[in-house]
Structure 1
Amino acid sequence: MQLKLFLLIISLLFTLPSFAQQKITIAFGDALAPWVMPETNDGIIITLIREALEPAGYEIEAIYYPYARRITSFRAKDVDAACDMNLKTMTKENLTGFLSDEAYAYENFAFALKKHNYKFTHLNELASYSLLSWQGAKTHLGGEYAVMANKNPLYLENHDQELQVKMLYLERFDIIQLDLQIFKHYRAKIQKEGQINTHLLVDKFPLFGASPNNILFQDKKARNAFNKGLKELKANGRYEKIFASYTLGN
């Protein structure tokens, strides 16, 4: 009898599923290399969130959307979390959820071809020039940036940040506004493709400062798990190593 019981227990141990992770769907950007690279399911932000949540038993399912669709998908509860969120976005878009601690920050600049010899020192000076920015910038940055954008009839936003860089070198826009690492990545990519001349010198103007970003969760437990994992990544030095592990262009 004891042998039969022992064999039954062993059989159950081998047939029971291993510790099952809880799947969590997260809406990432779709054109944010090297922060997010949909073609390889990789990038700084994806790795950061995965390594923060996996120890708590969560499995990441990445979904890639333009910024506006990340807003609508979160509002409709089609996803469990969305990236590139902050309190301004939550207020402006009337979103409810659980906002994480600051997870990462983009370093945004205004880029212009050097030959124009612009000398920008303040945001409001951009209102007289054609400016292509990333989708959601006006809402996300708010404040003086939103005032400038609303005054500028030549201001546009687009979710494709590779297109932003192309438009600068093709001289379709006077200025583009985006993160420095994203600019470097797409400039190197466009240069490699060889169809557009990217050797023209470029000026960058630090008019925006860092743009802190959070993750917005539907579930408080998942948010708390992420915050805990994020703190541990920062404490043990892994946070910096994740950033350093990606080649962000020249």
Structure 2
Amino acid sequence: MRNKTLKLLVLFQLLLGLPLFANTSELKVAIANDAPPYVADNAKSGLEVEIIQQALPGYSIKFLQMGWGDIQNAIKNGIADAETNVYEHGETGGHFFSKKYVGFVNYAISRKSEDIKIDNVNDLVGHHVIAWKGAHLDLGPEFERLFSPGGAGSKNYVEIQDSRDQVRDFWQNEDSIAIIDKSIFAHFSMKQGRSMDEVDTHKVFLPVSKFKMAFKDEKTRDEFNKGLARLCSIGEYAKLLRKHGISEKANICE
């Protein structure tokens, strides 16, 4: 009976494309502070957490939470073996970049009571615009032109490390526009006693921000890419999006 059970377990692992023998190596992964539904419960759950865990089943993954801007230096500073939410901006040396693994569906969000009209990216100029750290490089060439240091909209533009603080800044300041994933904004607004009925979400053709991971070594990067491809091929990635109530637009599977 024991041998039969072992054979069934091996067959099950082969069907799922999982390694037959676990590699118990610890992998330290720099990840953002809680921003449900992507990262939640002190990085114990959420879409990003589950993608990484399921793509690298042979590793004991330790998530290290930090601000968006700090993540980008976690490998260089010797803190982590991998970084989440990386967008290649010409970085070289000591980083092995994965394929895109997660997408954020961004909107421009304003107070309904202020009746702000936003039809294109240029309409954001002149308002207090709040985004995440590095967003001016992530949101397309027009946004980069307007909101990079010295750009026409840079005077009233801020980038904030933590999504919770980004939403708090929005509610504390009039004439504010948050550039943020709608699901994240809704979660933190509710925590602050606010409702989505109080805001307008503007479709200003901001791109879905799709990010890569960066790894310290090539082997782990390759294993992650293989695991990610498996999640796509068996439909598990789409299932995770539905589980967390995230738009299909965020699907990175080709």
SS of the residue corresponding to residue 52 of structure 2 reads helix
Specify every segment of 5 or more residues in structure 1 that has no aligned partner in the other structure, as ranges.
1-17
CA–CA separation in structure 2 for the residues paired with 1:40 and 1:171 = 29
- CA deviation vs aligned residue, 1:177-225 (integer Å, no higher than 9, x gap): 111111122223223xxxx576424232333121111111111110110
After TM superposition, give the deviation of residue 127 of structure 1 in Å.
1.8
- Give the corresponding residue for 1:176: 178
Select between 104-113 and 171-180 the one with higher mean Cα deviation: 171-180
Q: 1:20 to 1:99 in 2, by over 3 A?
A: closer
Name the SS for the 1:206 alignment partner: coil
- Partner residue of 1:26 out of 11, 29, 32: 29
Counting helix residues as a fraction of each chain, which structure ranks higher?
1
- Give distance in 1, aligned partners of 2:201 and 2:70: 32
Q: Which of the residues 221, 228, 235 maps onto 2:219?
A: 221
* Matched residue count: 222
Aligned twin of 1:151: 152
Structure 2 residue aligned with 1:243? 241
Residue of structure 1 in register with 2:64 after alignment: 63
1:178-197 maps to which residues of 2 (within 5 A)?
178-191=180-193
Q: TM-score scaled to structure 1, two decimals?
A: 0.80
Distance in 1 between residues matched to 2:71 and 2:119, nearest whole Å: 33
Distance in 2, Cα, partners of 1:156 & 1:114? 21
**8 A contact 2:127–2:177 mirrored in 1:** yes
Q: Which residue of 1 aligns with 2:126?
A: 128
Contact 1:110 1:206 in 2 (8 A): yes
Q: Distance between the aligned counterparts of 1:190 and 1:95, measured in 2?
A: 42
1:37 pairs, out of 26, 35, 40, with: 40
Matches within 5 A, 1:112-123: 112-123=110-121
Structure number with bigger Rg: 1
Identity of aligned residues (%): 23
- Report whether the alignment pairs 1:167 with 2:174: no
Superposed displacement of residue 169, structure 1: 3.2
Confirm or deny: 8 A CA contact 2:108 2:179 kept in the other structure: yes
SS of the residue 1:165 aligns to: helix
Contact 1:21 1:59 survives alignment (8 Å): yes
SS at 1:147 equivalent: helix
Q: Which moved more, 1:127-136 or 1:163-172?
A: 163-172
Q: Distance in 1 between matches of 2:218 and 2:116?
A: 47
**Distance in structure 1 (CA, Å) of the matches to 2:92 and 2:63:** 24
Match of 1:11 in 2: none
Distance 1:27 1:40 in 2: 10
For residues 232 and 198 of structure 1, do their structure 2 counterparts lie closer, same or farther at Cα, with a shift above 3 Å needed?
A: closer
Q: 3-state DSSP class of the match of 2:35? A: coil
Cα displacement string for residues 48-77 of structure 1 (whole angstroms, at most 9, x for unaligned residues): 0000001xx212110001012112222223
8 Å contact from structure 1 (residues 102, 212) kept in 2: yes
Whether the aligned pair in 2 keeps the contact of 1:32 and 1:161 (CA below 8 Å) is yes
The aligned residue for residue 81 of structure 1 is 82
Unaligned runs of 5+ in 2: 1-20, 247-254
Q: Are the counterparts in 2 of residues 38 and 64 from structure 1 also a CA contact under 8 Å?
A: no
Residues in 2 aligned to 1:197 and 1:87: alpha-carbon distance in whole angstroms: 35
Indicate the residue corresponding to 1:105 in structure 2.
103
